[in-house]
Amino acid sequence: MHSPENRIATSVLVIGTGGAGLRAAIELAEHGVDVLAVGKRPKADAHTSLAAGGINAALATMDPEDTWQQHAADTLKESYLLANPETVRIVTEGAARGIDDLQRYGMPFAREADGRISQRFFGAHTYRRTAFAGDYTGLEIQRTLVNRAAQLDVPILDSVYITRILVRDNAVFGAYGFDLTDGSRYVIHADAVILAAGGHTRIWRRTSSRRDENTGDSFRLAVLAGCRIRDPELVQFHPSGLIAPENAAGTLVSEAARGEGGILRNQLGERFMSRYDPERMELSTRDRVSLAAYTEIKEGRGTPAGGVWLDVSHLPRETIMTRLPRVYQTLLELQMLDITKEPIEIAPTAHYSMGGVWVRSEDHGTGVDGLYAIGEAGSGLHGANRLGGNSLIELLVYGRIVGQAAAEYSAGLDAQRRSAEALDAARSEVDDLLAADGPENVRSLQRALRDIMTEHAGVVRDETGLREGLAELTAVDARINDVGVHPDIAGFQDLAHAFDLKSSALAARATIETALERRETRGCHNRSDYPDVDPALQVNLVWSGPGSVQREAIPPIPGEIAALMREVSSAGKLVE
């Protein structure tokens, strides 16, 4: 006997209620298209709400010489030539409109005395182009989008876990899932599906994602639907994640702390960035600061707990309170630490999936008809290192574009072809897991998997370690078939964790197999056995299942943009 099934039909289904998913849903609703958004965690608390630093657009409010072309050049330079130039053009050229949309929805940006939007420096930008709201920009963006979706009466299911995207003959026709509270099932028929369920950073031990988000759901849903994954080995490790307390390990200390003049020191008190990037020091790129901190710790100059110190205590108290309120608050709450007096202990933390589902630049279509992927689930903008603040603008630009593309696709369908077979497979998968009563514990397998990734595929990688990781992963895969799943009075979290684990295992394999193939050091991808950039590997690596990695050429960079690409100095950039 099956659990009761809720059957819903909609023109477009959006999976994920973070910034990307909501922006797409808003676009559809504003055009009168029938849309439903589903999320596995409360919409007010989507991952987007954690983004602290800001959102990029060449508005030229502070530096009149800034242009979208320069923003594009900085993005491509920072990507170590792995970003798709067309994707970059679409985002940088559409950025100002993305900011206008947010303002139209009521976003409270920080402003200068004369009313123009304030912009700050952030990472390797040539000019000031990061708009912000305190150090909780992502939270304000999420609130703004949630409010706008509510005004438009966008239906949002907050506690539904999608387990399969339903496909027939390479065309999407909906999705299957269950309610996290009561376990009831959902069959959602849709003409088009927009996948906006985040990245895969939670498969490392220390990560800026919360416990049950970014477990690679997007990767698994996409691959089972017939899509491919591009560049999953390119994961950004954010330089400053907290070490303690254990249950909050990896929580980010905003980059704004370095932007405002924070200093990094090792256990010996040395300001170690002078060894790695004497020009830019603490304002170097994320990959370099992470590698520097990792190296200091690895070579024995870290703190006893395995970190380094980030110190803002020399800054005026007022600067800390107005520019870094959230950092101040977080440290008080988590560690009873007063950052106006004491340094913060940090270490690199898995932060952002720069790769993701393979998509076309123009409309983020996946190659499966009617299926699109956006936000951290997609790929193409960031290459081997992303500019701080670029991910938030990507959500707004592609949310709008994909909303329109999905609407057009839905309007152009003469019939929706369904498959009872695909639906049965999705249904049985859930039934089988619920009946699973094996000896293996989902949580301990998840922990084993995170240990494997941290040990063998973290900030620095090599052939031996990656091969060991692959062997250990295969052993964990075998044990996944013997899990026991036990829903209880508190809900069906256990079933969700089992699906998270399946997703994590797939994402881990994709990551290790592409990391093995990328025998070079480029951006965030450090191979100690191949310390140099290999021009022959200026390609995207596309994974389509175990053992299958193809190289894909990247379109050339237009001349006008290439002419603007340069090393960005940080001289004077601490002075805002």
In Å, what is the CA distance from 182 to each residue of 161, 179, 419?
A: 12, 6, 27
- C-alpha–C-alpha distance, residues 385 and 523, integer Å: 5
Nearest Cα residue to 508 out of 462, 473, 464: 473
> Nearest Cα to 184, choosing from 483, 498, 499, 491?
491
Instruction: Give residue 263's pLDDT.
Output: 97
Integer Cα distance of 99 and 441 in angstroms = 46
Do the beta carbons of residue 34 and residue 191 sit within 8 Å? no
Q: Is 286 a catalytic residue?
A: yes
Own/partner pairs, 421-425, CB within 8 angstroms, 24+ separation: 422/164, 422/166, 422/167, 422/168, 422/173, 423/166, 423/176, 423/187, 425/164
The side-by-side arrangement of strands in the sheet containing 344-353 is 235-242, 344-353, 308-311, 263-265
Helix axes 493-517, 463-480, angle to 10 degrees: 150
Cα dihedral sign, 480-481-487-492:
positive
Maximum alpha-carbon separation in the chain? 69
DSSP assigned state of 515: H
CA distance 231 to 91: 19
Considering the candidates 129, 206, 230, 286, report the single residue annotated as catalytic. 286
Region class of 216: left (phi > 0), else alpha (psi between -120 and 50), else beta = left
DSSP SS3 for 150: helix
Q: Residues in the chain, how many?
A: 576
Q: Please spell the DSSP secondary structure of 328-390, one letter per residue.
A: HHHHHHHH---TTTS-EEEEEEEEEES-EE---TTT-B-SSBTEEE-GGGS-SSSTTS--TTH
* Residue 276, number of CB atoms within 10 A of its CB: 17
Instruction: Please calculate the CA angle 14-16-19 and round it to the nearest 5 degrees.
Output: 100
User: Which pLDDT score is estimated for 34?
Assistant: 98
DSSP code of 394? H
Query: For the whole model, what pTM was predicted?
Result: 0.93
Average pLDDT of the chain to the nearest whole number:
94
Q: What angle do CA 273, 118, 92 make, to 5 degrees?
A: 75
From the list 186, 218, 216, the residue with the least C-alpha distance to 203 is 216
Using a pLDDT cut of 90, give the percent of the chain over it: 86
pLDDT tens digit at each of 576 positions of the chain: 456 799 999 999 999 999 999 999 999 999 999 999 999 988 888 999 888 779 999 999 999 999 999 999 999 999 999 999 999 999 999 999 999 999 999 999 999 999 999 998 877 789 999 999 977 899 999 999 999 999 999 999 999 999 999 999 999 999 999 999 999 999 999 999 999 999 999 999 889 888 889 999 999 999 999 999 999 999 999 899 999 988 888 888 988 899 899 999 999 999 999 999 999 999 888 888 999 999 999 899 999 999 999 999 999 999 999 989 989 999 999 999 999 999 999 999 999 999 999 999 999 999 999 999 999 999 999 999 988 899 999 999 999 999 999 999 999 999 999 999 999 999 999 999 999 999 999 999 999 999 999 999 999 999 999 999 999 999 999 999 999 998 888 789 999 999 999 999 999 999 999 999 999 999 999 999 999 999 999 999 999 999 999 999 999 999 999 999 976 544 433 322
